[in-house]
């Protein structure tokens, strides 16, 4: 990290903006008066940061990104709302993120260590966890909530108010209009569950035994012979010793504004959990 802040002569930094130590502001960047930029941030070139936007330490933002624009929501009346981006995020070309709306949460929040690839959009009032990856062209409508360690594939789109649990994976080209439980894979138009995100679970260090137990909990929860509410209580009793299973159960017990994404009636599991090394 460079020790001194550098601002290119062609960049515009409005009075009132707060710029941290060791920041690099490249050619043709624009930083508004209500912006706060943390230490060691690099704006490569042609980056626009406006509105009440805070960028955490160590972020790198690539050309043509626009952060802090007004929400694309006619219900917003122009009140001061915010966008906060956490530490050590990489934001690639043509990414857009909007501030919140003044009739809702009022804030859009992106966690630490996120990797937001080219042409992605994060709409107003979304909350994104830590270590989340958005592949090229992934888009969120307003009010979405994304857990930690989630991967969202390229050209996927999420309906407003959708929740995605920790460690889930949204496959490329998926249209998600309902909530996705933790640890699951969602695929298709419209999305269906295809079992567990086994690759992600392996990478996280989860043991084979725990993954297989989690898979049994998954099959119990989505047993179509019983109502979901009954399945939740059965799973709660049987898998109370599994922290991961309880995260899914608690997610299902807390209803949001969208229904839940379910597996298809046939072929409900296609995750290779039985073939773990």
Class of residue 21 by CB neighbours under 10 A (exposed 0-12, middle 13-18, buried 19+): middle
E strands along 75-200, which residues? Answer: 82-85, 90-91, 96-98, 107-110, 115-116, 121-122, 127-128, 133-134, 139-140, 145-146, 151-152, 157-158, 163-164, 169-170, 175-176, 184-187, 192-196
Residue-by-residue pLDDT tens, the chain, 277 positions: 567 999 999 999 999 999 999 999 999 999 999 999 999 999 999 999 999 999 999 999 999 999 999 999 999 999 999 999 999 999 999 999 999 999 999 999 999 999 999 999 999 999 999 999 999 999 999 999 999 999 999 999 999 999 999 999 999 999 999 999 999 999 999 999 999 999 999 999 999 999 999 999 999 999 999 999 999 999 999 999 999 999 999 999 998 999 999 999 876 566 766 555 5
Class of residue 144 by CB neighbours under 10 A (exposed 0-12, middle 13-18, buried 19+): buried
Residue with tokens 């707060």: 18
Q: CATH assignment of 6-143, given 2.160.10.10, 3.40.50.1000, 2.60.40.10, 3.40.640.10?
A: 2.160.10.10
Best CA proximity match to 108, nearest among 89, 139, 81 = 81
Active-site residue numbers? 124-125, 142
Whole-model pTM: value is 0.95
């Amino acid at each position: 990290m460079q020790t001194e802040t550098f601002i290119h002569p062609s960049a515009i930094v409005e009075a009132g903006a707060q710029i941290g130590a060791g920041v690099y502001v490249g050619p043709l960047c624009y930083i508004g008066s209500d912006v706060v930029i943390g230490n060691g941030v690099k704006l490569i070139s042609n980056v626009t940061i406006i509105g009440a936007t805070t960028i955490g330490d160590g972020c790198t933002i690539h050309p043509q990104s626009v952060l802090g624009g007004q929400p694309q929501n006619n219900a917003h009346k122009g009140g001061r709302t915010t966008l906060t981006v956490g530490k050590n995020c990489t934001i690639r070309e043509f990414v857009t993120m909007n501030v919140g709306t003044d009739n809702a949460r009022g804030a859009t929040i992106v966690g630490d260590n996120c990797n937001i690839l080219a042409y992605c959009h994060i709409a107003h009032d979304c909350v994104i966890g830590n270590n989340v990856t958005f592949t090229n062209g992934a888009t969120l409508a307003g009010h979405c909530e994304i857990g930690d360690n989630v991967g969202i594939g390229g050209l996927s789109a999420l309906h407003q108010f959708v929740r995605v649990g920790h460690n889930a994976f949204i496959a490329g080209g998926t249209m998600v209009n309902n909530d996705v439980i933790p640890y699951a894979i969602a695929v298709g138009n419209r999305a269906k569950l295809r079992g567990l995100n086994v690759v992600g679970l392996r990478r996280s260090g989860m043991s084979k035994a725990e993954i297989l137990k989690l898979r049994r909990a998954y099959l119990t929860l989505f047993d179509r012979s019983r109502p979901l509410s009954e399945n939740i209580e059965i799973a709660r009793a049987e898998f109370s010793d599994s922290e991961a299973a309880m995260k899914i159960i608690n997610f299902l017990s807390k209803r949001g504004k969208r229904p839940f994404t379910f597996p298809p009636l046939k072929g409900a599991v296609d995750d290779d959990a039985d073939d773990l090394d």
